[in-house]
Amino acid sequence: MTDSHAYPLLQSIDSPLDLRRLSEDQLPQLTEELRAFLLETVSQSGGHFAAGLGTIELTVALHYVFDTPQDKVVWDVGHQAYPHKILTGRRDRISTIRRKDGLSAFPNRDECEFDCFGVGHSSTSISAALGMAIAAGLDHRNNHAVAIIGDGGLTGGMAFEALNHAGVLDANLLVILNDNEMSISPNVGALNNYLAKLLSGKLYTTVREGSRQLLRRHMPSVWELARRAEEHMKGMVIPGTLFEELGFNYIGPIDGHDIDTLVTTLRNLRELPGPRFLHVVTQKGKGYAPAEADPVAYHAVGKFDPTQDHLPKSKPGSPTYTEIFGQWLCDMAEQDPRLLGITPAMREGSGLVEFSKRFPDRYFDVGIAEQHAVTLAGGQACEGYKPVVAIYSTFLQRAYDQLIHDVALQNLPVLFAIDRAGLVGPDGPTHAGSFDLSYLRCIPNMLIMAPADENECRQMLYTGFRHDGPAAVRYPRGKGPGVAPVAEMAALPIGKAEIKRHGSTLALLAFGTMVEPALQAGEALDATVVNMRFVKPLDEALILEMARTHDVLVTVEENAIAGGAGAAVSEALSRHHCLIPVVHLGLSDVFLEHASREELLSESGLDAAGIEQSVRRYLEATAKLKPPVLARSKSK
């Protein structure tokens, strides 16, 4: 733990109950201590940073005004929830965040009772909080449910579905929009803070509701005129007409760094009935100048020196798979004017920064709207363009119906560049790309590839782009084995694998990232090693040849074993009535908690040592069986 003398108030808080014992006059000091503590700890451990700096005051105010955990506070995504974790009994463990056996990167129900809903993906908070508010009403409890969602999260269609539903219910729900884009900064100040306090107060609410009832009953034409006048006047100073029309009592925008205004406004809103919407304007990275100047760079950080005005530069070396994709996208766009690039709000993460600068008219950031991204690509493909959807594996799950119905069913030429496939490490199970091979390969018309190295990734992207139908290239986070990409692009023969090593009685059929560790294990086992390359279509001819010339086949993939690439191999053997022992190595039927990617691979038995050990255990176990469980069939 850090020096207690530097954080006298913060050190006294082990739960929100301790926070609520403070006087309001002490809250500004607490926010200063919390901001300094967050800077000190995250600079030493790394983690999500800028978003948390922007929600210090809001977090303090929420736990000060509401009776958490009886009142439910649901954070959208959770990048901004580090201050929440610190105030809810996890202060002394915050330095362990995102590490093996440490705190989760996001709110997690198994970690703390104050994390009332597990998050990690965007635009879910309003739906979850509404569900909790409905449950409280059915149980005749007076609990409040609060959803905090960012302006980015509000671009997700699911958020509007929840708002549309909540507006017609009498649920005890408060939605807080944490707007950190500063696009409405001129509206934030003393006047708007005053209006927020006034409009959320009992006097205004009582007079307004009483007047509405009177005019509705006795003077409907005057009521309609008054209603329009009210909306017009509020619309002049408050950009909340949309939310009012959806059935919410809209308040704001207010300064999200004014703790006094926040506490007063939240207290007033706590007493109001029905769905309420509070618009709070904050600054991402607030209180730390480098993060204020570059909130994107400081969104998620490694260890850094807080006395410096910049983050440490990464050491030069081989490019990451994301960088390989970004360079290929620009190279391909120069060759083919039909190429269009699409991302659901992940320009930096997916490697589209350079493309967005060089080809702005062909770059489309659709916001956090994965469903729209996929169907948008389908529409573009219908008109002769060649869209490339750059998307994380875990986020493509959110557009599964669109993938099937709007692209694959129509056999449209859309290329999916699937980043962060497999184990992603510190972000944990919410971001792991563990399922894409399983959910993709069951879709007709899909071409699915998994590169073993950087150059193969570049060539597969080219292959998928040229393919006249939907195609997917899935690649991991970080770097590969260090194979330099070849500038000249050449399409790979569809559905053809390659033998990387010839061995004796054992064959390792490896997919994508598992080729390198399989080669290492193959040396120790004297096994044949095949780089399968294609998950769909499989190289069935080579699989049958391996079955004819070997005693045991082992499939290795960085994907769920259930329904994955190994299952596809077994299905192919079954179709050809070929009986041979097959061992499937991959991710087990569990959600793996956060740790480094290397630790998770080792834990899953997917490093070289783990593959070798698993195979030896199988061979030892089957050697004891007399006669063998399965007799190898000799293919004619």
The residues annotated as belonging to the active site are 284, 370, 398
Is it true that the peptide bond before 627 is cis, omega within 30 degrees of 0? Answer: yes
Give 45's Cβ-side CA count (13 Å radius). Answer: 25
| DSSP string for residues in 444-483 | TT-EEE--SSHHHHHHHHHHHHHSSS-EEEE--SSB-S-P
Neighbours of 160 (CB within 10 A): 15
C-beta of residue 29 within 8 angstroms of C-beta of residue 9: yes
Q: E strands within 217-257?
A: 249-255
Both structure tokens of 425: 């490490």
State how beta strands 498-501 and 447-449 pair.
unpaired
CA distance to 74, 156, 502, 521, per residue, from 551 (Å)? 54, 51, 14, 17
CA diameter of the chain: 94
Integer Cα distance of 112 and 455 in angstroms: 44
Give the distance from CA 20 to its chain's centroid: 33
Integer Cα distance of 153 and 123 in angstroms: 5
> Which residues are 341's β-sheet partners?
363, 388
Both structure tokens of 15: 């739960």
Neighbours of 49 (CB within 10 A): 26
Integer Cα distance of 355 and 516 in angstroms: 30
Residue type, 142: N
Put the strands of the sheet holding 249-255 in their side by side order: 72-75, 145-150, 173-179, 276-281, 249-255
Residue type, 329: L
Integer Cα distance of 90 and 115 in angstroms: 12
Dihedrals phi, psi of 620, to nearest 5 degrees:
-65, -40
Question: Alpha-carbon torsion 244, 249, 254, 256, what sign?
Answer: negative
CA angle 366, 425, 177 (to 5 degrees): 40
Integer Cα distance of 524 and 564 in angstroms: 26
CA angle 601, 603, 604 (to 5 degrees): 65
Integer Cα distance of 75 and 58 in angstroms: 12
Integer Cα distance of 133 and 59 in angstroms: 20
C-beta of residue 418 within 8 angstroms of C-beta of residue 391: yes
**Residues of the chain by 3-state class (helix, strand, coil), percent to 5:** 45, 15, 40
Residue type, 238: I
Both structure tokens of 150: 């960012």
Residues 6+ apart with CB under 8 A from 213: none
Neighbours of 210 (CB within 10 A): 10
Query: From its phi and psi, is residue 531 left (phi > 0), alpha (psi between -120 and 50) or beta?
Result: beta
